[in-house]
Chain A
Amino acid sequence: MKTIIILGGGTAGSIMANRLHNKLDADEWQIKVIDKDPLHYYQPGFLFVPFGVYEPGDIVKNKIDFLPKDVEFLVEEADKIVPSENRIYLKSGVMCSYDILIIATGAEIVPEETPGLKGELWQKDIFDFYTLEGATLLAEKLKNWEGGKLVISLAESTIKCPVAPLEFTFLADAYFTEKGMREKVDIFYVTPLSGAFTKPRATKMLSSLLEEKNVMVIPDFYTEHVDNERKMLVSYDQKEVPFDLLVSIPVNKGSELIEKSHLGDEDGLNFVPTDKYSLQSKGFKNIFVIGDATNLPASKAGSVAHFEADILTENVLSYIEGKPLEAKFDGHANCFIETGFGKASLIDFNYDTEPLPGKFPYPVVGPMGLLKVNRQNHWGKLAFKWVYWHMLITGKNLPIPSHMSMAGKEVPAELLN
């Protein structure tokens, strides 16, 4: 009997457990999932919690309910991976051996990385919405807030769901408008990037939306610390942005376990160097990495984890059979961008193709529109919750292929050569 360990039973880990369970011979392979938390969070739902749209109960379920019955599920925190021994040491002192390891430990916020962020004002005037706790406390705060300077600030450029802070900003604009107090709120979007987003056409579309909604963008602002006394964000080059209410997306890092296991990338963010096509770890042939835990130049998103799972399943099977790893991930990401007032936009892109305008998933009929703002996209975004719980994490096939398709995309003339 051989063992595959899937470390982390969140989005990517659940999909892989279900996929591999369907493909592997149960007499030959045992699948184990290890996760420190018995609960599965629908993280895209965190976005809506501050505005009272979702209650915590809508977005939290038990992990075990989404795993196949004969997959062993251990609720334990892993302390360290020792690749030379093919072993994982758990915090409880237990040790697990593997033949193949799939790292799916995700990314988490680490406010401690930015001096002053988790200071006196933390969860008083400074909040996050990347955790259920943060989003819930922020909902309370927004209910009674009387207005002032609302600053949304990204501490680092590598974050999960890179569009979520923009969506928060759009929803905040709509929320205060609907409460009849938008004129009492000045909204600032502070980012270390040179613009609202990284890819040119999407940035253009999103920047004009921000302008339309009267949001001030402060680009190239790399936060060094937060001055609690003066309620001020301070950058490495001594620029300052004052706030009354700060909604921060703190530094996102991979699991501490990656650092302890010396498996992380040089920037110290604990993401695992991974082959961007095969998803095999760069260090060890029998270790694969999926989802937010990788250092791939792709978005950290649930949709990405889903597309990666198609590729990784094929490559793990090839690896077991001693064949070359031929399935190649193309960096495909598909993200809805909630823009407020019952509308949303949608972007679909990969390593080589930036988000382009068009229709999705079918040419001409859509029904969703790429780089457009409309109601169909908003319904798509809301439907994603159902799809997530009922299809995505249980590894069912979605009607979207894992490789990005050009069908329905309008390619601008200057890109055709």
Chain B
Amino acid sequence: METINAIPLATNAEGYLKNYNEWTKEWAEEVAAQYGITLTEKHWDVLQWLRQKQAEDVKLNIRKVGNSGIVDIKQFYELFPGGPLKISSKIAGIPKPVSCI
């Protein structure tokens, strides 16, 4: 993603927010737009859930989102096409999910 944010917040080279606490909804909307995503209520529910899990220091994967009660895996793909966990994590202002093996 090459676009320069109108709302400048510090991110790493891949565009993930450096400071969880600086996140704003406006910033999220802007990052989502770069992926061609317009955030709906369902998107926000997922993003809030991701942020809550991050605050609890839970390591995330797609299955955990699928078990969240908010979306199943298929809906998660529909909301954030391409790489749902990577993209939604970026929009939610949490670190890039790491595969741990």
Taking beta carbons and an 8 Å cutoff, which residues of A are in contact with B?
Answer: 156-159, 162, 192-194, 198, 220, 222, 224, 236-237, 266-269, 295-300
Checking A193, A237, A267, A298 against B77 with a beta-carbon cut-off of 8 angstroms, the contacting residue is A237
Number of contacts between A and B (CB, 8 Å)? 49
Checking A194, A220, A269, A298 against B100 with a beta-carbon cut-off of 8 angstroms, the contacting residue is A298
Q: Is the CB of B59 within 8 A of A297?
A: yes
Chain B neighbourhood of A158, CB < 8 A: 61, 100-101
Taking beta carbons and an 8 Å cutoff, which residues of B are in contact with A?
Answer: 58-59, 61-64, 67, 73-74, 76-77, 81-83, 98-101
Q: Is the CB of B67 within 8 A of A267?
A: yes
Q: A268-B63, A297-B59 given as contacts; is B74 within 8 A of A224 (CB)? A: yes
Q: Is the CB of A162 within 8 A of B67?
A: no
A308 to chain B minimum Cβ distance, whole angstroms, is 15
Main secondary structure of the interface of B (DSSP, over half): loop
A242 to chain B minimum Cβ distance, whole angstroms, is 21
Cα A367 to Cα B7 with chains together (Å):
54
Q: Is the CB of B99 within 8 A of A222?
A: no
Chain A neighbourhood of B98, CB < 8 A: 198, 297
Chain B neighbourhood of A198, CB < 8 A: 98-101
Q: Is the CB of A297 within 8 A of B100?
A: yes
Checking B58, B74, B100, B101 against A236 with a beta-carbon cut-off of 8 angstroms, the contacting residue is B74
19 contacts between A and B (CB under 8 A): A158-B61, A158-B100, A158-B101, A159-B101, A192-B62, A198-B99, A222-B73, A224-B73, A236-B73, A236-B76, A237-B81, A266-B58, A267-B64, A267-B67, A269-B63, A296-B100, A297-B59, A299-B101, A300-B101
Q: Chain B residue with minimal CB distance to A297?
A: B100
Q: A157-B101, A297-B100 given as contacts; is B67 within 8 A of A268 (CB)? A: yes
Q: A220-B83, A237-B77 given as contacts; is B63 within 8 A of A267 (CB)? A: yes
Q: A159-B101, A198-B99, A266-B58 are in contact. List 16 more A-B contacts (CB 8 A).
A: A157-B61, A158-B61, A158-B101, A162-B101, A193-B99, A198-B98, A198-B100, A222-B62, A236-B74, A237-B82, A267-B67, A268-B67, A296-B100, A297-B59, A299-B101, A300-B101
Cα A365 to Cα B62 with chains together (Å):
44
Cα A157 to Cα B99 with chains together (Å):
8
Q: Which 4 pairs across A and B sit closest by C-beta, in order of nearness?
A: A297-B100, A267-B63, A198-B99, A162-B101
Chain B neighbourhood of A220, CB < 8 A: 82-83
Cα A158 to Cα B61 with chains together (Å):
10
Q: Chain B residue with minimal CB distance to A331?
A: B100
Checking B62, B64, B77, B83 against A266 with a beta-carbon cut-off of 8 angstroms, the contacting residue is B64
Cα A220 to Cα B85 with chains together (Å):
11
Cα A198 to Cα B101 with chains together (Å):
7
Q: Chain B residue with minimal CB distance to A268?
A: B67
Q: Chain B residue with minimal CB distance to A194?
A: B83
Chain B neighbourhood of A194, CB < 8 A: 83
Cα A300 to Cα B99 with chains together (Å):
13
Chain B neighbourhood of A297, CB < 8 A: 59, 98, 100
Q: Is the CB of B101 within 8 A of A267?
A: no
Cα A222 to Cα B99 with chains together (Å):
14
Chain B neighbourhood of A156, CB < 8 A: 63
Cα A182 to Cα B42 with chains together (Å):
49
A285 to chain B minimum Cβ distance, whole angstroms, is 20
Chain B neighbourhood of A193, CB < 8 A: 99
Q: Chain A residue with minimal CB distance to B61?
A: A267
Q: Is the CB of A236 within 8 A of B99?
A: no
Chain A neighbourhood of B61, CB < 8 A: 157-158, 267
Cα A297 to Cα B97 with chains together (Å):
12
Chain A neighbourhood of B64, CB < 8 A: 266-267
A136 to chain B minimum Cβ distance, whole angstroms, is 27
Cα A411 to Cα B48 with chains together (Å):
40
B95 to chain A minimum Cβ distance, whole angstroms, is 13
Q: Chain B residue with minimal CB distance to A236?
A: B77
Cα A162 to Cα B99 with chains together (Å):
11
Q: Chain B residue with minimal CB distance to A269?
A: B63
Q: Chain A residue with minimal CB distance to B75?
A: A236
Q: Chain A residue with minimal CB distance to B53?
A: A266
Chain A neighbourhood of B58, CB < 8 A: 266
Cα A93 to Cα B83 with chains together (Å):
47
Query: Which residue, of A156, A193, A220, A267, has the highest number of chain B Cβ atoms within 10 A?
Result: A267
Chain B neighbourhood of A157, CB < 8 A: 61, 99, 101
B74 to chain A minimum Cβ distance, whole angstroms, is 5
Cα A297 to Cα B62 with chains together (Å):
15
Cα A193 to Cα B83 with chains together (Å):
10
Cα A236 to Cα B82 with chains together (Å):
10
